[in-house]
Every structure is written in structure tokens, then in C-alpha cells.
A and B are shown apart, each in its own frame.
Chain A
Amino acid sequence: MVSLKRVFMKCYLALILLFLYAPILVLVVLSFNDSRSRVKWGGFTLQWYGSLFSNRQIMEALKTTLILGFGSAAAATVIGTLGALGIEAMRRRSYRVVMSVTNIPILNADIVTGIALMLWFVRFMPLGFGSVMIAHITFNIPYVILSVMPKLKSLNISIYEAARDLGAGSVYAFFHIVLPQAGSGILAGFFMALTMSMDDFVITYFTKGAGVNTLSTMIYGEIRKGIKPQMYALSTLLFAVIFVILLLFNILSGKGKSTDDIVERSR
């Protein structure tokens, strides 16, 4: 009976994963397709992987995308986590107001955020890489706050207050009390931000300067003429690299964990 239940649970999770990964499978298959059209199968090829690295535009866009993604996610995580800690301590009324404002970038259609930022930047700075970075940090912060806030609410923040009362510096208290408990929320926020940044097209489009290209803006530019197969190859590679890193990470940290357990028990 119990095992039947577990089988059912496993099947359910497998279906959910299949649902989430089905289009990824399609894209992986397309990266080996020896035809420039996405709807025709022209046989197996590795040529798109070969020509990928010699394509200066794609490589440059990849670099920009990664710098933008990691940079804006890191900045948003710092600002957002501190913000969440601060907001959580606010009185109900100001808390409400700040949280409503926080959600504005999520609430607005991308196109409105993008054009609003563009019109705003025009007043005091030229569009370039810096303006896209600011724009990305701006729309990333809410996702960090939304990931961190529930964690802060469920952890017992009074321990932090107590530590501070007992003379712990705020930095010390943060690293020893908040981080261990809210860490997964902060990490989730970081990855959420990174993901949003890598995926965004509209806001990037309106806030970038001439000559700055990300993978998204490149892909959108290619839609009409047909997505270049190198893009599928690049997506597949990125996916594979991240997946392998995660897998290794998982195996290694799994080992670390079991030794920790032993130490724990031997005490």
C-alpha cells in the first residue's frame, strides 16, 4: 500500500518534470538538425556546435548576457536581502506601502517598464551597458524580496534582535543567524533574478545602447528569418554545462554531508 503510494508520487513528479522539460528536449533535438528550418528534419549534424565558437556576435552576446545576469542578480540579491530585512522590521502601514511599490515592476507590463525606464534614462545618462544593468537590477529586486520575505517571516527574527541586544554586530548577526536560516531563500532569490535577467527581452531592448546585444535580443531579431541553429546549439551547451556542474556539485556535497552526519552522531 505504502509502496503503491510512493510509485504514484514518483509518477506524478515525473510527469511534472516531463511537462517542464518537453520543450527543452525539442530544442536539444533541433540543435542536431541538419536543416536551417526548425520544422524540417534534415538528418543529424554537429556542424552548429562547430560554427558556434567562431561566431563573434554570438560569443559577444553570450558574454554580455552572463555579465549582465550575474552582475545584476548579485547586486539585486544584496540590495533586496537588506531591503527585506529592513522592510520586515517596519510598522504595518509603511510595510504595506513599501511592499506595494516593490511589486510595481512585476505588476507592470514589461513594455511599460521598459519604455518608462528608457524615457527616464534619457534625462540624465546615455543608454549603454550601464543603463541595461540598472534596468535589470531594478526588475530583479522584487523577485529577491519575494523569495526572501517568506523565509524571514517563518524564521524567528527575535533571535537576531536578541543577538544584537547581547552586543553582536549587525554583520555578525546577519551571517550567524539570518543567513543560515534564510540562506535558501536568498539563494533562490539570486537564481530567480539570474533567470529573469537571462530571459528578459523587452526591457533590455528599450534600455540598451547601440551595439550592446544579449542572447535574448539576438534571438528576437532572428525570429522572422528563422532562429539560427547555432542558438539551439548554444542553449543546449549552456544547459548541459549547468546540469553537469549541478550534478557534480550534488555528488560532492552529498559526500560532505554524510561525513558531517557521522561527526554529528559521534558527538
Chain B
Amino acid sequence: MLRKNLCAALIALTGGLMLGGCGKEEPAEYLTVFNYGEYMDPEVIDQFTEETGIGIKYEEALTPEELYAKYSSGAISYDLVCSADYMIQRLIQEGEAQKVDFSSMKYADNIGDRFWQFSKAFDPDNEYALPYFYGTIGILYDTTKVDGPVDSWSVLFDGSYKNDIIMQNSQRDTFMITLKYLGYSLNTSDENELREAQQLLIRQKPDVQAYLVDEARDEVVAGNAAMAVVYSGEAYLGHEYNEDLAYVVPKEGSNVWIDSWIVTKNCKNPEAAAKFLDFLCREDVAEKNFEYIYYSTPNEAVVENMDEELRNDPAITPTEEDLAKCEVCTQADEEIARLYNELWKELKAD
């Protein structure tokens, strides 16, 4: 008896939900947009549809690699893709992007000139990629636990903070800081330099409390670790939650990353796609996105109107000095990528 009632209830519930799923008005045109998770204010998407009548099918990825995996399977025909610099480079090299005429856009000028220059590292003639957000990688540290101002990567490697360090659980970022510490380029393709970096990381491993990606910031905020390697945007949020935290881009230099948009070669409606990109550059829209994400924006109109405090925060607006010592990361060729992979597995297995 009991069971029959339960079954009936479940069937009714299922049926009800199925029916509830139907019936919604549909815009005539659609753009399929692929972006990082939580990387756009949902209101902005609604606003675009209201203003232009073009619907957005929005899809999110956690990492550039995940995005690439889904993109390259061809399972979904995407119109616009936003990802990390090196992944954008890969997509451009594979002929997946189509040219966009940025000069005909109304608001593309809002993007500062120096970001177009940075972009040239992976898009030499600025034909494909539109900068969206950018930032640096550095050390987020707890000033109550670390003596003196930190200014060098050496604090991670000199063994003075045993079990108090959180590193990035990502090959490229972890090798990047080590290469920089050793004085090499982060785009090196010299096997010896990479092996030297790996040896240093293996020696450092006992001091590392954890290799984390997304939770690194929270661990420092909670006081579980004295320092962590993080993206600059995370550092800003970390400081919001815990005033004792400070962020530094070490003097040896670091990586400046630029997440950019491309229009894919399969995009059937490049005009609508260009409209969307232009919309993203518009001051009010860019500002909304900035206030949602709090990563560094290349949109100078937004930077000008920013609060003094935000504009002077190196985690939100990297200083000229910091940017001067940073390099843009480019896609490693296949052989080097394989080497990275091997070295990383050896490090983890050690």
C-alpha cells in the first residue's frame, strides 16, 4: 500500500515536472557563447537579448582544456569562445577563428592600447582576439605569518615556511614561477631548463602543504597556510575577506595572462557576434562585468571611473612596473607539451 502510494506520488511528480518544462517564447536568432564559469554577469546576457533581440545560449567551462575538449569534438557549434591566451593561440593556429574587424566597432577603442600589444604574442596582427580580462600571477601571503615584505619567489623555495605553502595544481603555472625564479623565460623550450625547474620543485615538495587550484585562496584566508600562488583577481577577493593578506608580483617576474574572445569559423552570423563583442566593450556593460568578477579589466573607460582604492590596488590594476617584468604565456609545441606532462607526473609521483 505504502509503496504504491509512493510510486504514484513519484510518477505524478515526474510527470508534473516534465509538463512544467514546456512552453517558452524563443528569440529568432541565437548566439552560442562558450565562456569560463562565473565569468560574466548574468544580467549582461539578459540585457543583450533585450536590446538586440538576439538570444544567447550560454555554456561554461572550468578550464581552457575542458573548453577545448568540448569545442574540438564538434558536438556543439559555438559562435563565440572566451579562453586563456595560450588556448586562444591554439584555436587561431588550428584555423578555428575568423577575422573580426575591430576598427568598425563602436566601443573596441575602450580596450587600452597596451592590451592589443600584449595580444600580439598570440595574435600577431590583432585580427582575431578581443581582450576581455587580464591579470598576473603572484603570491598571496598572510602578513601576520610571514616576516617582512615578500618580494621574491625565493620565499617558496628556501625552506623557511615548511608545510605552509600552497602551490597551483597546474603544470604550466607551477613551472612558470619556477622558471622565472631561475631566471629563464616562461616560454622556454630548453629541456635542461625545464628539468632544472623540475628538480627544484621536487626539492620543494616536502614543504608544500597542498597543490590546489580553486581552493588555494580560501586556505590562506582561513589561515590554514601562510602563502599561496594565486591569480591576481583571487588575491583581491582574498584581501576582501581577510585584511591581513597581501599580494605581490615577485621581482623575478611572472606571467601576465589575458583571457580573450574569438569568433569561431563556424559562426553563421558574424554580424551578431561582432555586435556581442562590441556590446561587451561598452562602458556600462564592461563595468557591470567588472563589478561581478573583480578581475583586472583592459577597458580603460571602466578603469578611469573606478574608485581610487580599486585603481591603486595592484591586484585589480597591475602597476606598470609589475607588467613590465611579466611575460605572456604562449602555447608550447607538441614535444614540449609532452615533456611538461612527463615532468609533472614525475613530480607528483615523487
Cβ-defined contact, A211 with B58, below 8 A = yes
CB contacts (< 8 Å) of A70 on chain B: these are 10, 13-14, 17
CB within 8 Å of B: which A100-127 residues: 115, 118-119, 121-122, 126-127
Rounded to whole angstroms, the CA-CA distance of A63 and B10 in the bound complex is 15
CB distance from B193 to the nearest CB of A (A): 30
CB distance from A37 to the nearest CB of B (A): 4
Query: What is the 8 Å Cβ interface bit string for chain B, positions 44-77, against chain A (1 contact, 0 not)?
Result: 0000000000000111101000100110011110
CB within 8 Å of B: which A16-49 residues: 35-40
**Out of A71, A119, A209, A220, which one reaches B62, CB within 8 Å?**
A220
CB distance from B224 to the nearest CB of A (A): 8
Indicate whether A161 reaches chain B with its CB closer than 8 angstroms: no
Query: Which partner residue on chain B sits nearest A38 by CB separation?
Result: B218
Indicate whether A256 reaches chain B with its CB closer than 8 angstroms: yes
CB contacts (< 8 Å) of A249 on chain B: these are 6
Rounded to whole angstroms, the CA-CA distance of A118 and B75 in the bound complex is 7
Indicate whether A217 reaches chain B with its CB closer than 8 angstroms: yes
Instruction: Known A37-B221, A118-B73, A183-B3; judge A210-B34 contact (CB<8 A).
Output: yes
CB contacts (< 8 Å) of A220 on chain B: these are 37, 62
CB distance from A137 to the nearest CB of B (A): 13
Query: Do most interface residues of chain A lie in helix, strand or loop, or is the interface mixed?
Result: helix
Query: What is the 8 Å Cβ interface bit string for chain B, positions 269-294, against chain A (1 contact, 0 not)?
Result: 00000000000000000000000010
Indicate whether B340 reaches chain A with its CB closer than 8 angstroms: no
Counted as pairs of residues, one from A and one from B, with CB atoms less than 8 Å apart, the total is: 104
Cβ-defined contact, A67 with B18, below 8 A = yes
CB contacts (< 8 Å) of A122 on chain B: these are 73-75
Indicate whether B38 reaches chain A with its CB closer than 8 angstroms: yes
Cβ-defined contact, A224 with B38, below 8 A = yes
Cβ-defined contact, A210 with B42, below 8 A = no
CB contacts (< 8 Å) of A225 on chain B: these are 37-38, 237, 293
Indicate whether A9 reaches chain B with its CB closer than 8 angstroms: no
Indicate whether A50 reaches chain B with its CB closer than 8 angstroms: no
Indicate whether B21 reaches chain A with its CB closer than 8 angstroms: yes
Cβ-defined contact, A256 with B2, below 8 A = yes
CB contacts (< 8 Å) of A56 on chain B: these are 42
CB distance from A39 to the nearest CB of B (A): 4
Rounded to whole angstroms, the CA-CA distance of A210 and B6 in the bound complex is 35
Instruction: Known A39-B222, A67-B21, A118-B73; judge A224-B6 contact (CB<8 A).
Output: no
Indicate whether A203 reaches chain B with its CB closer than 8 angstroms: no
Indicate whether B117 reaches chain A with its CB closer than 8 angstroms: no
CB contacts (< 8 Å) of A67 on chain B: these are 14, 17-18, 20-21
Rounded to whole angstroms, the CA-CA distance of A39 and B284 in the bound complex is 32
Pull 20 A–B residue pairs with CB atoms less than 8 Å apart, ordered by A: A37-B241, A38-B218, A39-B222, A39-B241, A40-B242, A70-B13, A71-B17, A74-B11, A122-B74, A122-B75, A127-B75, A183-B3, A209-B76, A210-B33, A211-B58, A220-B62, A223-B37, A224-B36, A225-B37, A226-B237
* Given A37-B237, A210-B76: 19 more A-B contacts, CB < 8 Å: A37-B218, A37-B240, A39-B218, A57-B42, A63-B21, A67-B14, A70-B13, A118-B73, A119-B73, A122-B74, A183-B3, A210-B78, A211-B59, A220-B37, A221-B36, A221-B37, A221-B60, A223-B37, A226-B218
